[in-house]
Structure 1
Amino acid sequence: MLKIIFPSIMLLPLTWLSNNKNMWINVTSYSFTISLLSTVFLWQNDMNPPNLSLLFSTDPLSSPLIILTTWLLPLMLLASQNHMKKETGQTKKTYISMLVLLQILLIMTFSANELIMFYILFEATLIPTLIIITRWGNQTERLNAGLYFLFYTLIGSIPLLIALIYIQNLTGTLNFLLFPLTFTSLNLTWSNSILWLACMMA
């Protein structure tokens, strides 16, 4: 996973060290390169998950999500150049840094092996998303939109946190790699139905 995460982290110094004239070209072309590399590295034709580690790995479910995430950044950069044309150079660099930080957090979210790490990283994506909505939103109601976004996302994720604590107490682990060894079949009871509903609400 470092083959994707580390080049994405290097987008941050590239953004701040580039001059204002070449900044968009540098960051967009470099992010397109990361997108192509992620497509090559994460393309999987078999069901055996590569890149196994205790913290991060990819499988046939997470690989397409990571590839999609890496392809979204250059497209967002291309789409927002005209919108950011009147902003200062410092503001443009801050905006690009928020987009890059969002990509890094999403890649780590989709490749997390621990459910609690998935939860923390997923909630961490709220910070750059909220800053982007409230600072660079197009409508005048962007502050209210950011407030509603934060409120509904946090309220919706609380049942997931409770469900994760319940699973931890039930199985003793939240690691995906250990689930086949410790998982016990769930009976069709009201508590398990509520557990399923809590996971779906997030």
Structure 2
Amino acid sequence: MMMVMTAWLSTCITAAFTPKKYLWSAATLHSFLATLFSLAWFYYHNFSFSDDFFTIDNISGPLIMLTCWLFPLTMLASQSKLNLEPVNRQRMYIANGIFLQLTTLLAFSVSDMMLFFIFFEASLIPTLIVITRWGIQGRRLEAGMYLTFYTMSGAIPLIICLLKLYVFQNILLPSIMMFMPNSVITITFPGLFWATYNMAFLVKMPLYCLHLWLPKAHVEAPIAGSMVLAGTLLKLGGYGMIRMSAFLPDSTTNETMFFMMVAIFGILSTSFMCLRQTDLKSLIAMSSISHMNLVVAAILVHTPWSYSGAMVIMIAHGLTSSAMFCLANMSYERTNTRAMIILRGMILILPLAWSWWIVVALYNIAMPPLINFTGEFLIMTSLFNWSHFMFLLVMLNLIFTTAYTLYVLWAIQRGPVPQHIKSLQPINTRENIIMFLHILPVILIMFFPHLIMFS
């Protein structure tokens, strides 16, 4: 595993010493090589690597693949705007992205839960720098404060619980704790106990009512920040909840019913709120909240099918939402606005972008036989077995998701063309490569599901 980390650290040398003329091309090429090397190393070990510090298994393996795949795409997507900045700032931006990549990979791969907590919280630092330094709006400092206070507020109970658990068990390794004879903790209030352990992860996902930081962060962040937030950082919350379940006693859904109700309400309300958004990035951020609340509901059901569905949804959403933010950035770079009423009529000016929008829209509404549909099918089946009424409520989300996806397509593609945007630069090769590399993994996983669902 240290070979993989060294491969990613070596990209810092490229960022520091490459001449300005070749900086972005060299950094992007190096990140692609690091990605290919990392994926080859993981497949060589069949995603079952384990030593004193690292553990790669069926839970962390797919998320590590997603993290490695998205980083070079963020490098491709960031070039057009950052090329205008001084070269030292460009180098700092790439180095900050590498630091964020390393903290995320370490959070997904470390075996000790205390180390996981450290890297889980360390990812806040480069994310905050990306938003507050390279944000594109005037309220980026406010977005950074929201992100910081929400994240740190959720981290306080988690660190206290981990310290208490270490005193109780003398170890924080999930693989060992499952076989310890005294691994069951006697508790009086299981619902409150579960919430205390998982509050940091519920904030990161985020659970509805804890989500106010996410739309602000997405709106203010540059394209790379939005891609990483939606693609990998939100998945740290789901990964943490699944990992933490090894430490906690088996809680019935009745004991966590309050959080299940909040998650289901969040699924429906955020999907419905997407129908009244006027900002394109805010709409995509709201849709991410809806999908992540579906993952929370699946984890609360606590069955093998629901856990499998949650993992598939996290992988599919990481690719789909990142692609949607890239498409939104294509329009923003040409019009300097995210208001959908101004972006109407784009099908006449950028017909190729319309094709990408159609494909990504099909992914977002979980059209069969895509992996998005597979994940939702597994979760819906688990919900149906748990409660028919809750299943019918969540089924309404399929209607709302289809409605706001069609609303986006109709609002920004159809209609008369505004007078001031009749002449725009066409979609270039770099942007087509970004979209193709977002869609390719979904197609591969659809035909070869063992790429992420291996034994």
TM-score (norm 2): 0.42
Asked if residue 24 in structure 1 is aligned to residue 59 in structure 2, the reply is no
Deviation of 1:155 (Å): 0.5
**C-alpha RMSD over aligned residues:** 1.9
Deviations 1:63-87 (A, max 9, x none): 1111111112111111111121210
**Equivalent residue letter for 1:184:** S
The aligned residue for residue 90 of structure 1 is 88
**Per the alignment, do residues 187 and 45 of structure 1 end up closer, same or farther by CA in structure 2, a change over 3 Å counting?**
farther
What's the secondary structure of 1:165's corresponding residue? helix
Inter-partner Cα distance in structure 2 for 1:188 and 1:41: 42
Q: Of 86, 100, 103, which aligns to 2:101?
A: 103
The number of residue pairs the alignment matches comes to 199
Letter in 2 for 1:61: I
Q: Do the aligned partners of 1:18 and 1:26 also contact (CA within 8 Å) in 2?
A: yes
Cα offset for 1:170?
Answer: 2.2
Q: Partners of 1:64 and 1:83 in 2: how far apart?
A: 31
Match of 1:181 among 173, 179, 184: 179
Deviation at 1:57, TM superposition (A): 1.9
2:99, 2:172 → 1: CA distance? Answer: 26
**C-alpha deviation, 1:127, in angstroms:** 1.1
Structure 1 distance, partners of 2:146, 2:167, is: 32
User: Aligned ranges for residues 135-146 of structure 1 at < 5 Å?
Assistant: 135-146=133-144
Could you tell me which runs of 5 or more consecutive residues in structure 2 were left unpaired when the two chains were aligned: 201-455
CA contact (8 A) 1:134 1:143 kept: yes
Cα distance in 1 for residues equivalent to 2:18 and 2:114: 37
Shift of 1:200: 2.4
| 1:168 Cα deviation from its structure 2 partner | 1.3
Asked whether the equivalents of residues 163 and 195 of structure 1 are also in contact (C-alpha less than 8 Å), the reply is no
The residue type equivalent to 2:183 in the other structure is T
- Structure 1: runs of 5+ lacking an equivalent: none
User: Which structure's relative contact order is higher, taking Cα pairs within 8 Å and 6+ residues apart?
Assistant: 1
Q: Residue 54 of structure 1 contacts residue 113 of structure 1 at CA under 8 Å; is this kept in 2?
A: yes
Matches within 5 A, 1:3-22: 3-22=3-22
Among 158, 165, 168, the alignment partner of 1:167 is: 165
Q: How does 1:28-177 map to 2 (within 5 A)?
A: 28-43=28-43, 50-177=48-175
User: Which structure has the bigger radius of gyration?
Assistant: 2
Following superposition, the deviation at residue 186 of structure 1 comes to: 4.0
Deviation at 1:196, TM superposition (A): 1.4
| CA drift at 1:45 | 9.7
Structure 1 vs Structure 2: percent identity of aligned residues?
34
SS at match of 2:174: coil
**Aligned residues of 1:44 and 1:60 also touching (Cα < 8 A):** no
1:128 corresponds to which letter in structure 2?
A: P
SS of equivalent residue, structure 2 residue 178: helix
After superposition, the C-alpha distances for 1:77-102 in whole angstroms (9 at most, x for unaligned) are: 11111121210000000000000011
C-alpha distance in 1 between matches for 2:170 and 2:155:
21
Give distance in 1, aligned partners of 2:197 and 2:25: 41
What secondary structure does 1:113 align onto? coil
The code of the aligned residue for 1:2 comes to M
